[in-house]
């Protein structure tokens, strides 16, 4: 593994996936691979094992050189231990913007009744087995069933960032902030040149809602 991304989703992870692959750290695993990836039927059983606590991380990431986003971020400590020489990327975002994005995207996709989704969504919903993995690792794992308690989530969010910074050696850790940073921290982490091109800007709230059949926000 060349990069282990340990930050939560909705912190620019789709953009980071594209950026890391552009910098030579790819393929980069992302939740999208479990939803529409060509290998999703092969990958999902591995993530059931992750949720069960029986996974072999080298098997889980076979064929990948990096990871960002959930569900991997929910098991960040285990993955960092399994690949002790891999640089660690802590992708972060200002809390209120992150929580609002979560409400309008991933949480909305979970709680919106299927009959209220547009039938011509650009992307199929996760299959039931994957939904179960997501529930166990993210909603009942990281969020402990308390996502609607914003004050609690804020404390958890800040505590997770602090825990990662306290756990990962400084010379192994790169912090990247959405809306502030671009290519430079990633290129330095990988010891490669900074590309002479705009940083990817992918999968904003409007794009997510369109792809999952959620109505556009007013």
93-124 per-position pLDDT tens digit: 999 999 999 998 888 888 777 666 665 555 56
CATH of 3-211, one of 3.90.950.10, 3.30.300.180, 3.40.50.300, 3.20.20.70: 3.40.50.300
Whole-angstrom Cα Rg for the chain: 17
pLDDT at 206: 75
Distance CA 77, CA 62 (A): 18
Q: Is the pLDDT of residue 211 over 80?
A: no
pLDDT at 119: 58
Confidence class of residue 133 from pLDDT cuts 50, 70 and 90? very high
Mean pLDDT is lowest, of 12-21, 31-40, 190-199, for: 31-40
| Nearest Cα residue to 22 out of 173, 194, 172, 175 | 194
19-64 per-position pLDDT tens digit: 999 999 999 999 999 988 899 999 999 999 999 999 999 999 999 9
Distance CA 200, CA 41 (A): 28
pLDDT at 139: 96
pLDDT at 106: 86
Contact of 91 with 174, CB cutoff 8 Å: no
Confidence class of residue 67 from pLDDT cuts 50, 70 and 90? very high
Distance CA 62, CA 69 (A): 17
What percentage of the chain has pLDDT greater than the value 70? Answer: 93
pLDDT at 115: 66
pLDDT at 120: 56
pLDDT at 174: 98
| Secondary structure (DSSP) of 107-142 | HHHHHS-GGGS-TT-SSPPPPHHHHHHHIIIIIIII
Q: Is the pLDDT of residue 209 over 80?
A: no
Mean pLDDT of the chain: 92
Q: Is the pLDDT of residue 161 over 60?
A: yes
Distance CA 168, CA 170 (A): 6
Contact of 69 with 13, CB cutoff 8 Å: yes
Parallel, antiparallel or unpaired: strands 173-177 and 88-92: parallel
Contact of 114 with 212, CB cutoff 8 Å: no
pLDDT at 188: 98
Confidence class of residue 126 from pLDDT cuts 50, 70 and 90? low
Q: Which two tokens stand for residue 94?
A: 């200002």
Contact of 19 with 205, CB cutoff 8 Å: no
Give residue limits of the domains in the chain.
3-211
Contact of 176 with 16, CB cutoff 8 Å: yes
């Amino acid at each position: 593994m060349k990069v282990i991304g340990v930050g939560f989703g909705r912190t620019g992870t789709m953009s980071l996936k594209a950026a890391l692959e552009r910098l030579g750290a790819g393929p980069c695993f992302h939740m999208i691979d479990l939803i529409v990836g060509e290998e999703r039927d092969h990958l999902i059983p591995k993530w059931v094992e992750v949720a069960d606590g029986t996974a072999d991380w080298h098997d889980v990431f076979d064929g990948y050189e990096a990871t960002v986003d959930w569900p991997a971020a929910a098991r960040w400590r285990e993955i960092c231990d399994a690949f002790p020489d891999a640089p660690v990327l802590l992708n972060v975002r200002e809390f209120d913007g992150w929580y609002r994005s979560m409400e309008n995207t991933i949480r909305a996709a979970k709680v919106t009744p299927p009959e209220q989704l547009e039938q011509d969504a650009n992307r199929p919903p996760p299959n039931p087995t994957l939904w179960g993995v997501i529930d166990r690792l993210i909603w009942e794992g990281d969020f402990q069933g308390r996502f609607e308690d914003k004050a609690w989530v804020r404390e958890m969010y800040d505590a997770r960032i602090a825990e990662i910074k306290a756990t990962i050696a400084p010379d192994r850790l790169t912090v990247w902030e959405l809306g502030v940073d671009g290519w430079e921290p990633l290129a330095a982490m990988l010891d490669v040149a900074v590309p002479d091109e705009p940083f990817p800007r992918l999968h904003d709230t409007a794009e997510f809602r369109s792809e999952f059949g959620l109505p556009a926000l007013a």
